[in-house]
């Protein structure tokens, strides 16, 4: 459904996306996880055609983004992190206005508004001015607007920012229902691990513009990482040697080791090789791993602001 090959994007000297290669299957919810400033919003903005890219190929539903942008935009929709609604208009007036921009009118427009307000549970608030809405209601309206064109691909950029727990859970269930009933392919960006874990089929982690993990959620969660070893720079020979250990995974300068029948032998081998090659062990963590701990290990544990 979505194919991204060798995607690069820079702003001046700052590299925002660095050789991104990503395939997203039809009907799958992909959780795009990353720290603030990792490049998540830039990626979805490129996919919808809001901003350009430096180089790389992008195909959506078999269509080349360069040559079929208008056609792609008719089958895609983005729900931005910043609310795209008019606060002094009512919910219905917002839906009517944005539906008109999409070329909807008459009975088709009314039918889509009825459907979208039902999905977002806004039927009782259609005539209420949006500036009187709670944060959760504004987010639901934002999402309802994004559904007006019956998108085949839906990009959700931090859609639960600033809402309470109940509203967050409702929005997540709402998104899962859209995916299940409509077969909509969804990219869900967030830095909230619990949301990604709750909603996603696939999990992709992006950090400092690079894709550092892209695997099925169930495969990630069933791996019990017993040891994480962060080291100095590894050369190609050492990388190849560690990759031959079935229970080990190398991500940049981090060696992740799962527990299997050869756990102790594998751990001794890794530490012995590091010692014999004078590779510094920067950090050693032997706690059981959750998605959050894996995320922190892969993206390093320092706080980063945009």
Predicted confidence pLDDT, tens digits, the chain (306 residues) = 899 999 999 999 899 999 999 999 999 999 998 888 889 999 999 999 999 999 999 999 999 999 999 999 999 999 998 899 999 999 999 999 999 999 999 999 999 999 999 999 999 999 999 999 999 999 999 999 999 999 999 999 999 988 888 888 999 999 999 999 999 999 999 888 888 888 999 999 898 888 988 889 887 776 666 688 888 878 888 888 888 888 888 876 788 888 778 888 989 999 998 988 888 898 887 755 566 666 766 666 544 444
Q: Is residue 52 within 8 Å of 223, Cβ to Cβ? A: no
All residues at 6 or more sequence positions from 266 whose CB lies less than 8 Å from its CB, including other chains: 245, 247, 248, 257, 260
* Spatial distance between the Cα atoms of 8 and 209, rounded to a whole number of angstroms: 9
* Spatial distance between the Cα atoms of 25 and 6, rounded to a whole number of angstroms: 18
Write down all domains in the chain, each with its CATH number in brackets: 2-214 (3.40.50.300), 224-288 (3.30.70)
Torsion of CA 215, 294, 191, 135, to 10 degrees: 100
Phi and psi (nearest 5°) for 258?
-90, 165
């Amino acid at each position: 459904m979505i194919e991204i090959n060798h995607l690069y994007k820079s702003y001046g000297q700052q590299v925002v996306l660095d050789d991104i290669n990503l395939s997203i299957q039809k009907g799958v919810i992909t959780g795009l996880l990353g720290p603030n400033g990792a490049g998540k919003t830039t990626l979805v903005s490129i996919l919808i055609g809001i901003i350009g890219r430096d180089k790389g190929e992008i195909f959506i539903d078999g269509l080349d983004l360069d040559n079929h942008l208008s056609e792609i935009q008719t089958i895609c929709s983005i729900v931005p992190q910043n609310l795209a609604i008019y606060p002094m208009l009512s919910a219905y007036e917002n839906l009517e206005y944005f539906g008109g921009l999409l070329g909807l009118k008459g009975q088709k427009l009314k039918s889509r508004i009825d459907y979208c307000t039902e999905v977002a549970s806004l039927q009782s608030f259609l005539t209420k001015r949006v500036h009187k809405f709670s944060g959760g209601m504004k987010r639901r309206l934002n999402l309802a607007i994004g559904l007006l064109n019956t998108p085949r691909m839906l990009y959700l950029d931090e859609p639960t920012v600033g809402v309470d727990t109940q509203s967050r859970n409702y929005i997540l269930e709402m998104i899962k229902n859209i995916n299940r009933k409509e077969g909509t392919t969804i990219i869900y960006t967030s830095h909230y691990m619990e949301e990604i874990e709750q909603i996603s089929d696939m999990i992709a982690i992006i950090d400092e513009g690079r894709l550092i993990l892209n695997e099925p959620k169930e495969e990630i969660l069933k791996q019990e990482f017993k040891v994480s070893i962060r080291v100095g720079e590894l050369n190609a020979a050492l990388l190849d040697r560690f990759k031959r250990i079935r229970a080990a995974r190398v991500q940049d300068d981090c060696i992740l080791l799962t527990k299997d029948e050869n756990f102790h032998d594998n751990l001794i081998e890794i530490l012995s090789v590091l010692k014999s090659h004078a590779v510094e062990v920067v950090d050693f963590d032997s706690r059981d791993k959750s998605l959050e701990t894996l995320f922190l290990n892969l993206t390093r544990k320092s706080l980063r602001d945009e």
